[in-house]
Amino acid sequence: MAEGGAAEWQSEAVINVDVAMGDRSYRVLVGAGVRHELASLLPPGVRRVAVVTQDGIGIDVDPGVPFDRFVIGDGERHKTLATLGGLCSGFARHGLTRADCVVGVGGGVVTDVAGFAAATYHRGVPVVHVATSLLGQIDAAIGGKTGVNLPEGKNLVGAYWQPSGVICDIETLATLPPRQYRSGLGELAKYHWLGGGRLDDLPIDERVAACVRIKAGVVAGDERESGRRAVLNYGHTLGHAIETAGDYGLLHGEAVAVGLVFAAELARRLGRIDDAAVAEHRRVVGGYDLPSTIPAGLADDELIELFARDKKATSGTTFVLDGPGGVEVVRDVPDDLIRDALAACR
């Protein structure tokens, strides 16, 4: 058993990581072709499956039982309560019961929406995720956080609903457009400061497994983000604010990459890290060919207002920042330092 509740073993080029959640523990399979193991992750007795996906995914799965296919729109603009309602109505029309299962096949939007639909339909049915994007494999599909966006902010409505299993088939990454893959690297970059170290030196399956292992350990100790789990939002406070402010042409991982550099600049101004640590943040982000500057036209006042709406902000303006003891939540950050750090990212 690895530290933090994640067990792992390697067999026939499949890396298995157990997310230790007591009687809700589940397996994550990482490797080439592991989507064909979907039937083995369904809960016992499942008679029917609702496959939730998007038209552009292009990945077929066989759950080994009869299934219906439900297609949602592509992109964050479809991650809404309206999409959730449409899915649940579709489940009802097709006779999905509590003895059945939802399977989300796609990236982070699909797993977030499919997971939330599973959490709420009949007050909870099982869900298994087949994560087809890098972002989904290393973050969105792991840990049980589900939800949709409101006009006021990202992921403001949702539920904690652990999946019955997760599949991270690295073959599906070859289907991603280069920019979508690079966006996933923005989410991967945060793990460099959460115990991952030099992840850029590992082959892709081991990189994915390392990120899953880190997230599994954090989630096992803090499922509902009452403490340490907030560190998984490293880089996301500014990243989510950019996404909420409007269409500035950045994908999620690209916005997070900018957020990582901003977080380092802010931590430096608070005396938590030195110039060398800031330079390392910029090296990692730049090494993945990701942006590090705030889009033109986004005013400080607008961003600071959005920071105050962030779901971590229970006491003053709150950020996840690096420091002597590692990445942690820091509250009541002064506005003048925030503005100075924002200027360093212009």
Let me know if 269 is a catalytic residue.
no
**How buried is residue 98: exposed, middle or buried, by Cβ count under 10 Å (0-12/13-18/19+)?**
exposed
Let me know if 233 is a catalytic residue.
yes
Catalytic residue among 182, 213, 229, 311: 229
Catalytic residue among 79, 145, 213, 311: 145
Let me know if 281 is a catalytic residue.
no
Catalytic residue among 182, 190, 192, 215: 215
Catalytic residue among 3, 123, 152, 198: 123
Let me know if 229 is a catalytic residue.
yes
Catalytic residue among 149, 233, 268, 311: 233
Catalytic residue among 76, 225, 243, 254: 225
Let me know if 145 is a catalytic residue.
yes
Let me know if 236 is a catalytic residue.
yes
**Coil, strand or helix at 243:** helix
**Coil, strand or helix at 258:** helix
Let me know if 252 is a catalytic residue.
yes
122-158: buried (b, 16+ CB within 10 Å) or exposed (e) per residue?
eeebbbbbbbbbbbbbbbbbbbbbbbbbeeebbbeeb
Residues 6+ apart with CB under 8 A from 131: 106, 107, 111, 137, 140, 141, 166, 167, 168
Catalytic residue among 252, 268, 269, 311: 252
Let me know if 302 is a catalytic residue.
no
* φ, ψ (nearest 5 deg) of residue 223: -60, -40
Structure tokens at 256: 């997070």
Catalytic residue among 76, 79, 129, 187: 187
Catalytic residue among 35, 154, 236, 311: 236
- Distance (Å, whole) CA 1 – CA 19: 11
Let me know if 47 is a catalytic residue.
no
Catalytic residue among 154, 240, 268, 269: 240
Let me know if 129 is a catalytic residue.
no
Bridging pattern class, strands 328-330 and 319-321: antiparallel
Structure tokens at 66: 């009869």
Closest CA to 141 of 172, 159, 166: 166
Which residues are known catalytic residues? 123, 145, 187, 215, 225, 229, 233, 236, 240, 252
